[in-house]
A and B are shown apart, each in its own frame.
Chain A
């Protein structure tokens, strides 16, 4: 598993040990300037809201370097999930992220699935179910 050592907007430090092991965690690398990310945001918000309680977790990692844009976005959207800040690009480098949005489903300390770019809701739900069964 690639390394993770970032802080979220609330100042909490996140490492690999912070990720729950017993359920899938959907990790998304994104940026405010990424139009695909912004286009997928409503779907992700809905799928997170509609999930069965405790079935999976969602963590996003912003690679924005423009803090003003990021601040405006977060103040407007008020995401209900942790937003980690990777301004220096250490995490995106460790996780070999070439483009955003980039998704990883992690469970039991193993990357169960990964892809970059747009994904449909059904395909995402299926991937999460498969990861939960592993």
Chain B
């Protein structure tokens, strides 16, 4: 279908007063706009009716030159038509001198870029595939049960896979729990039996106990699961997965300085639970009743040498155990030595109850060691609230050890498997030696996989900070770096059982959401609703595997030769594969190397005599672009020499654009993306990082061309740093002006 491009220029919000609209109209007409209209308030009913009228008369590619695309998005969205937005308000008139020559040039360039884009993009057609609506819950503990009950309640079939013979997990192993209801003062029985009964009586939920996952292949909506369960191998298809595999206690044998292993009377909080369940608190060393029990909080937690994080529950567990110990033996005394008592919310009242008990003693302090002195133990602590170093005699020392996520490290297991494959192949050479080293180093991972995903990037979820599987803790809870697989409970973060159940519900909702979007042929968060998807022109593929390696979401598998195999519903549409591809064979209907290149080339580059530099800004549309808009809203002015092209992610930037820009006469290129590193803010995990790596190659190329390497720069800017945006741009512009114009003009 031929394109009939219609351009609409809004004069509202200072645009009409700051720009020569007639000149802008001429630019549109010169660039093959079939229709070009202006209006004082385009977003009003009258303005929109103007557009609708043209659509009825055949306009099918719209360019709206008004405010930022982040405003009035619904207003300017019309059926069967794509709308390109030219951001004249925030990024032109509100951030530059009105009625200025450079401002006018900027507006005209943005008009050309919008038109270039409008001419090239196609309306994406959503894919249509059959989607299974069953949800697989891995782990039958308190979290998994909650996820299953809630997902079944929402009408989905659920399958629970539990490795142990019974459902219930840790919760069914503990006799009592800290309170879950007002007045939050008394220990309670663990309410797990009810939950198990609810699951067992629910005909939407199928339970496999004593089972493990042998293999999961496929993609969201079409995961094919194969189990190993009591000698049989059931196979079925599910649509989404909730991983609720829980936690294991921190290995106390590494806490020798706290006496563990030196005396049988130094035990962990898990051993204490076992004694409580057995009904008697005795010294394991001699079977005597324990009269003086010392609880050491943060044993191996919040400690850079051990677990650096707080496990959230240990304080309440020790309070509970102290109260139970006092209840079982009123002559017993309990000492609690803590770094900080962390008893969130209403649990302060539970803490109070223990404090009020005359036989429970609390002090803050750093425990420096536990010594065995004769029959008893001596706990030494520094910096206590008593204002001095103390020693305490105890019959029993309980180490409040933390929670370690019961997760497998997918990426490391993959390294191990790859090394094993190399060894099996038996080819000699340096590669084999390296593989042998890796295989030896990682041999503890053999058989550690939980999900056994058939993913090129590894059989389990990639782990993030502290080995928890998550994609972005703050911004995208429950999400992982594998679309359609969501984590909940202690495998995601240290939680108590109540929070774990809420987690289960949250992850179940995420799983349902992913099924719904897959069914509608749309991407999940963060490009929710995006119907475009990558298209691979495989006949030109060189099997370099960059796309399969760089995809943050494990979307692509490989065939034996290394050709990428697309799993569409795993894709988040970030375009990182497109940025990675040296052959530029990957494209979206509305986002491709070609489309962006034509936008870059649409800008009119003034010749050297005019002495007006032109800078290209490739800007991440998730955080940096909104930040630039905010700067405009705040009327912060910046250099008018720069032309911004929004990109889905800096990781989707193909270096060909940089080469095109430099050869086309741009004087400098500024890449603005999100923060990378451990506390990254990238919506697609590692966009800035990947761009950084690619720009190393760019720098080499610059040196070859005898261009200054300062001409291409990468900046990481959090969304909140809009105040710095103008400074970043202006400093870059000044630097380029100092260096001088591009000799390739």
Q: Is chain B found bound to chain A in the same assembly?
A: no
A residues near B (Cβ < 8 Å) are none
Which B residues form the contact surface with A (CB < 8 A)? none
